[in-house]
Structure 1
Amino acid sequence: MTCVIIDDNPIARATLAQLATMVNDLVISAECSNAIEAYNFLLEQKVDLLLLDIEMPEMSGLELIRNLQDKKPVVIFTTCKNDYAVQAFELNVADYLVKPVPPNRFIQAIDRARSMLQTREHGIQAMTDEFIFIRDSTTIRKLKLDDILFAEAMGDYVKIHMRQRHYLIHVKFKTAAERLPATNFIRVHRSFIVALDKIDCLQDGGLVIEGRFVPIADTYRRNFINRINVI
């Protein structure tokens, strides 16, 4: 697995290079001191993985990933802050490491990157199509889409209902709706989006999921009935 280390701090680059020696199949192809240098290198050379800092002069790590064309390398962000975690995971990265990086977390991140590469090579649907990331207080938490029952708008928040618990996240309902794939979820009310395969039955102007009642608004009813294919 070929890798490029991109960080404007020489000590950070040296530390990552040292951590990389723990992984037998990880080969450092280059070390770059800024994102522009890395961009030009990646135009000429194909690599599997980027160990990428975020806050760099002229071009950030986030901007670098957005500027790369198709067939981007797998990315592990390495940064001093957790402020960019949501933006990072929106770019389908393998992991997000906060410096100083513990050796066990580095190895775990490399394992995730390796799995993503194998997924790409075998033409399997990307892992991020199977889960979403949410900000739960100060933690960025991964939720499997299959575990989500429905989402409920609550003012400036969205409540994600699951079988055993729920999460309240500070995000616009429209944004949450866009992140839940239409193949699995459907909007049934201005305040509710439900998982189609979790619906138990319809009754009295609504539906029931795991014993919980969710209303269906008239404006969404026709589309909903068409989707569930009632006979």
Structure 2
Amino acid sequence: MNCLIVDDHKIARTTLKKLISLDSSLTLAGECSNAEEAYNEIINQPIDLLFLDIEMPGMTGMELVKSLGKSSPMIIFTTSERNYAADAFDLNVIDFMIKPVSPVRFLQSMERLREFVKTKTFSTAIRDKDYIFIRDSNTIRRLSLDQVLFLEAQGDYVKIYVSDHTYLIHSTLKSVVDKLPDNFFLRVHRSFIVNVSKIDTLEGNTLVLDKNFVPVSDAYRAALNKRMQIL
């Protein structure tokens, strides 16, 4: 795993370099003394993980993460200020380490990293499949994604519509959509996800799928038009 140290203090960078050298799963790709330099490194070479300071001259570490958006590597913040913790975790970072970083604390952070990577890999594997497993009363049922017409959020439940049946599962729509492959499904409303290949017609702001009517909100209309590749 290629990692990059970003910190304006040389002593902090030296400490991290020593700790990284003790973990065989990490390869140090470089070190930067400011966020602007790090940004150029990230866009010019594959970086999987940033050990990132927050308070630096010019662009802060948090501003760097926000500027990278979805292309951001995994982040472990390293800082002397505890009061950044809440804002840091809002950015979905792996960990937040207070400097100076001890060997024990570094090992704990590496465990969090490994758990995150394991979960991410598992989620990707699920998304690559053409079926899901759902709980139907006391039965775990295998459901082919090609059978699914659309899904509807109903409070703490999600109703799954197939051509001749519906299933009600205890879950949130967000949790379900995270397990569905993007090439099959698209969100068209805060309460609805549709199987794009099952769309029969689009009339105004209403989709028809096997005689079922699904509303389309304005916020999702552009993405729907793009996916449908309307001629």
* TM-score (ref. length: structure 2): 0.53
User: Which residue in the other structure is 1:96 paired with?
Assistant: 96
CA distance 1:19–1:58, change in 2 (3 Å): same
Give the unaligned 5+ runs of structure 2.
126-152, 158-169, 171-231
Pairing 1:204-223 to 2, within 5 Å after superposition: none
Aligned mates of 1:184, 1:38 — CA distance in 2: 43
Pairing 1:57-206 to 2, within 5 Å after superposition: 57-123=57-123
Aligned mates of 1:20, 1:86 — CA distance in 2: 26
CA contact (8 A) 1:94 1:116 kept: yes
User: Is 2:54 the counterpart of 1:28?
Assistant: no
User: Which residue in the other structure is 2:40 paired with?
Assistant: 40
Task: Specify the code of the residue in structure 1 equivalent to 2:12.
Answer: A
Task: Specify the code of the residue in structure 2 equivalent to 1:89.
Answer: F
Aligned mates of 2:39, 2:99 — CA distance in 1: 23
Residues 9-31 of structure 1, C-alpha deviation per residue, up to 9 Å, x if partnerless? 11110011011122111110010
Q: CA deviation at 1:115?
A: 2.2
Give the unaligned 5+ runs of structure 1.
126-181, 187-196, 198-231
Q: CA deviation at 1:89?
A: 0.3
Q: List 4+ stretches of structure 1 deviating above 4 A.
A: 182-186
CA distance 1:119–1:56, change in 2 (3 Å): same
CA contact (8 A) 1:74 1:117 kept: no
Aligned mates of 1:184, 1:4 — CA distance in 2: 43
Aligned mates of 1:69, 1:98 — CA distance in 2: 24
Pairing 1:6-17 to 2, within 5 Å after superposition: 6-17=6-17
CA distance 1:114–1:72, change in 2 (3 Å): farther
Q: CA deviation at 1:72?
A: 2.0
CA distance 1:33–1:92, change in 2 (3 Å): same
CA distance 1:108–1:43, change in 2 (3 Å): same
Aligned mates of 1:8, 1:38 — CA distance in 2: 11
Q: CA deviation at 1:124?
A: 5.3
Q: CA deviation at 1:48?
A: 1.3
CA distance 1:185–1:85, change in 2 (3 Å): farther
Q: CA deviation at 1:118?
A: 2.9
User: Which residue in the other structure is 1:156 paired with?
Assistant: none
CA distance 1:14–1:183, change in 2 (3 Å): farther
* TM-score (ref. length: structure 1): 0.53
Residues 120-168 of structure 1, C-alpha deviation per residue, up to 9 Å, x if partnerless? 233359xxxxxxxxxxxxxxxxxxxxxxxxxxxxxxxxxxxxxxxxxxx
Larger Rg: 2
After TM superposition, the structure 1 stretch with the greater mean CA deviation from structure 2, 87-96 or 69-78, is 69-78
CA contact (8 A) 1:48 1:117 kept: no
SS in 1 for 2:78: strand
Q: CA deviation at 1:183?
A: 8.2
CA distance 1:22–1:67, change in 2 (3 Å): same
Q: CA deviation at 1:33?
A: 0.6
